[in-house]
C-alpha cells in the first residue's frame, strides 16, 4: 500500500543529471538498503523461484528469518508472512458461502436486505467501480435478465440517493479455449476445471444423432481433454460458446472530489459506498493519499484472503496490474472472480491493465477484460482501452499494455505514451506512475527479461520525462529496485516495483 505525499522539496521537472541528484518528490515507502546487488532493493520473504528447493511455506518463512539474522537484509527491510496453504480454487458456491459468513460486506459499505453477495433475490451481481474522466466514475454490474434498465441511483453519503445515471447493457460471447494446463493439472493446489466440467460441455450425445458431425459420446469424463481442437471446444459444438450475463455500464458524472457517495444499481436490494478521487493537484499533509496496488489475483482461497487484506487497509483507489481472474479461456471463471472481489471492487475504484492471462491464454484477446472492466481511455485521447491516463491527487497514472502490444517508436502504444508524458503538469501532479504487467527488471528466473524489447524501446522515453515509478506483476514475487536506467543505478532513473 503506497502513500503518496509531497515533501519540502516540492514538485520539479526533470533536470540534467551531470550535477547533483535530481530533486524528487518524496514517497513514504522507505529507502532501499545499502549493499548487495546494485539494482535490487528488497525481496519479499518467499520468492517463488526458490520454491522448487524449498517448497514448504514454513521453510521459506524460516529461511527469510535466517537471512535477516545473517545480515543479508538490514533489520526491518523484510519480514515473514505466513502465507495460506497451497492455493485452492473456490467454486462459485464456496465463494458465496464465505462472503455470506464474513463481516467484510459491512466493512465494504454494502447494505440492504440482500446482504449475501450473489444471492438469487438480488438482481445486480459482480458490482465494481472504475474511473473515467475528471469528476466521473463508472459502475459495472451483471444481471441475468434482459430488459432491466441500466440505471444507478446515487447521492452524497448521509443524504438521499437523489441523483440518477443511465448507461448501457451488453453481452459478449467467447469460444471456450482452456489452453492452460494449469486449469486441469496445476503445479500447486487443486484443479480449476475438472474432467467432469469439461465433459459436460464436450459430450453432445444428448443434442445430436450419432450421424451428425457434431455428435460426441464420451465413455468417461477423462476422455474430454482429448476431444479439444487446438485447445478449444470444437466450434461445431453449440456449448462451445460462453455467453455472458447482461453487463451494465453506468457512468456517474458530476462527482465532487473527496466526497463520500452511496449508490445502488436499479432493482438491487443493496447499496454501496465509495469516496470520489481527490482532484488533480489536491493534497493534505496530514492525510497522504493511500493507493492499493496488487496483481495476479485469481479465484483461490489466497485470492480471497488478499482481497480482504487490501480491503482492511482502506485505500482510496487501487491499481490492479494485470492477470485478474486466471480464466485462461474458461470464461465462467470471470463470473466467479467478479463475485469474489465485489466487497473490495464495489467500494474502491480500480484502474486495471491487461496481463498475459487476460489477453493471450485461451486466445481471448482481452475480450472478457474489456467487456467487464472499463478504463478511462476515451477521456485520455487514447484509441484503445488498453492504454490510458488518469490524474488523482498528486499522481498521474499511465496504464499500458506493455509487452502485449508493439512498443517501437512507430507503434500506437509508444506514440500515445509520448503524448501522455508531454501533457504532464509536474506542478499539479508531481508523481508520474506507469503500470504494465511484464516487468523490465526482475532477478528471478521466472519470466526473466521477457520485457527486454519493451524496455529497449521505451525506457529512454520514460527516463527523459522523469517517470518516478513503474508497477508490474507477472513474476508473483515482490521486488523493488533502486532508481535505475539501462541496468545502472541512476538517481534520475525509475524505481521498478514488482508486485
Neighbour order of strands in the sheet with 260-265: 163-166, 151-156, 260-265, 272-275
Q: Distance between CA 6 and CA 27 in Å, rounded?
A: 8
The maximal CA–CA distance of the chain, rounded, in angstroms, is 81
Between CA 337 and CA 142 the distance in angstroms is: 12
Q: Which residue has the cell 517508436?
A: 409
Reduced to 3 states (helix: H, G, I; strand: E, B; else coil), residue 154 is: strand
Cell reading at 252? 456517474
Q: Which of 87, 103, 83 is nearest to 343 (CA)?
A: 103
Q: Which residues of 309-334 are buried (b: 16+ CB within 10 A; e: fewer)?
A: ebbeeebbbbbbbbbbbbbbbbbebb
Q: Grid coordinates in use for 44? A: 519479499
Q: Residues 297, 319: contact at Cβ < 8 Å?
A: no
What phi, psi does 382 have (nearest 5°)? -95, 165
Between CA 10 and CA 361 the distance in angstroms is: 44
CA atoms of 291 and 91, how far apart (whole Å): 30
Phi, psi of 31 (to 5 degrees): -90, 155
Neighbours of 214 (CB within 10 A): 14
What is the separation of C-alpha 237 from the centre of its chain, rounded to a whole number of angstroms? 33
**245 and 335 in contact (C-beta within 8 Å)?**
yes
Cβ 325 vs Cβ 340: under 8 Å: no
The three-state secondary structure class of 197 is helix
Cell triple for 349: 475504484
Q: Residue 469 corresponds to which cell in the numbers above?
A: 515509478
Find, among 453, 421, 451, the residue nearest to 436 by Cα. Answer: 451
Active site residues: 447
Amino acid at each position: 500500500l503506497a502513500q503518496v505525499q509531497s515533501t519540502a522539496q516540492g514538485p520539479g521537472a526533470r533536470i540534467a543529471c551531470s550535477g547533483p541528484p535530481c530533486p524528487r518528490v518524496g514517497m513514504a515507502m522507505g529507502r532501499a538498503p545499502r549493499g548487495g546487488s546494485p539494482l535490487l532493493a528488497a525481496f519479499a520473504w518467499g520468492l517463488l523461484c526458490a520454491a522448487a528447493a524449498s517448497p514448504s511455506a514454513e521453510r521459506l518463512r524460516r529461511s527469510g528469518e535466517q537471512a535477516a539474522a545473517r545480515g543479508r537484509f538490514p533489520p526491518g527491510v523484510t519480514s515473514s508472512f505466513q502465507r495460506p496453504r497451497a492455493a485452492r480454487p473456490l467454486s462459485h458456491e464456496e465463494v458465496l458461502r464465505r462472503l455470506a459468513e464474513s463481516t467484510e460486506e459491512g466493512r465494504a459499505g454494502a447494505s440492504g436486505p440482500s446482504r449475501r453477495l450473489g444471492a438469487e433475490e438480488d438482481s445486480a451481481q459482480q458490482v465494481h467501480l472504475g474511473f473515467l474522466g475528471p469528476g466521473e466514475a463508472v459502475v459495472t454490474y451483471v444481471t441475468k435478465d434482459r430488459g432491466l434498465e441500466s440505471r444507478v441511483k446515487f447521492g452524497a453519503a448521509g443524504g438521499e440517493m437523489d441523483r440518477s445515471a443511465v448507461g448501457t447493457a451488453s453481452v459478449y460471447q467467447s469460444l471456450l479455449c482452456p489452453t492452460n494446463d494449469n486449469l486441469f493439472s496445476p503445479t500447486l493446489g487443486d484443479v480449476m476445471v475438472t474432467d467432469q466440467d469439461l465433459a459436460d460441455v464436450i459430450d453432445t450425445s444428448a443434442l445430436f444423432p450419432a450421424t451428425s458431425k457434431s455428435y460426441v459420446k464420451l465413455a468417461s469424463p477423462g476422455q474430454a481433454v482429448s476431444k479439444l481442437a487446438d485447445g478449444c471446444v470444437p466450434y461445431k459444438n453449440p456449448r462451445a460458446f460462453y455467453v455472458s450475463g447482461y453487463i451494465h455500464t453506468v457512468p456517474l458524472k458530476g462527482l465532487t472530489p473527496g466526497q463520500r457517495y452511496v449508490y445502488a444499481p436499479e432493482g438491487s436490494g443493496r447499496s454501496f459506498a465509495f469516496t470520489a478521487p481527490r482532484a488533480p493537484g489536491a493534497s493534505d499533509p496530514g492525510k497522504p493519499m493511500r493507493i492499493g496496488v496488487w496483481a495476479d489475483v485469481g479465484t483461490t482461497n489466497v485470492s480471497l484472503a488478499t482481497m480482504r487484506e487490501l480491503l482492511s487497509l482502506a485505500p482510496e483507489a487501487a491499481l490492479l496490474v494485470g492477470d485478474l481472474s486466471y480464466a485462461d479461456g474458461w470464461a465462467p471463471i470471470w463470473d466467479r472472480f467478479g463475485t469474489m472481489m465485489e466487497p473490495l471492487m464495489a467500494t474502491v475504484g480500480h484502474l486495471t491493465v491487461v496481463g498475459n492471462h487476460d489477453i493471450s491464454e485461451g486466445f481471448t484477446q482481452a475480450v472478457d477484460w474489456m467487456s467487464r472492466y472499463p478504463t478511462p481511455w476515451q477521456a485520455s485521447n487514447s484509441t484503445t482501452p488498453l492504454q490510458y491516463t488518469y490524474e488523482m491527487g498528486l499522481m498521474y497514472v499511465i496504464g499500458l499494455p506493455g509487452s502485449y502490444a508493439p512498443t517501437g517508436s512507430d507503434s500506437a502504444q509508444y506514440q500515445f505514451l509520448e503524448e501522455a508524458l508531454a501533457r504532464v503538469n509536474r506542478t499539479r501532479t508531481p508523481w508520474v506512475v506507469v503500470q504494465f504487467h511484464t516487468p523490465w527488471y526482475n532477478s528471478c528466473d521466472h519470466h526473466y527479461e521477457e520485457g527486454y524489447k519493451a524496455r529497449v524501446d521505451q525506457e529512454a522515453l520514460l527516463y527523459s520525462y522523469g517517470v518516478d515509478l513503474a508497477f508490474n506483476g507477472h513474476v508473483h514475487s515482490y521486488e523493488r529496485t533502486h532508481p535505475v536506467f539501462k541496468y545502472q543505478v541512476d538517481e534520475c532513473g525509475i524505481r521498478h516495483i514488482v508486485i
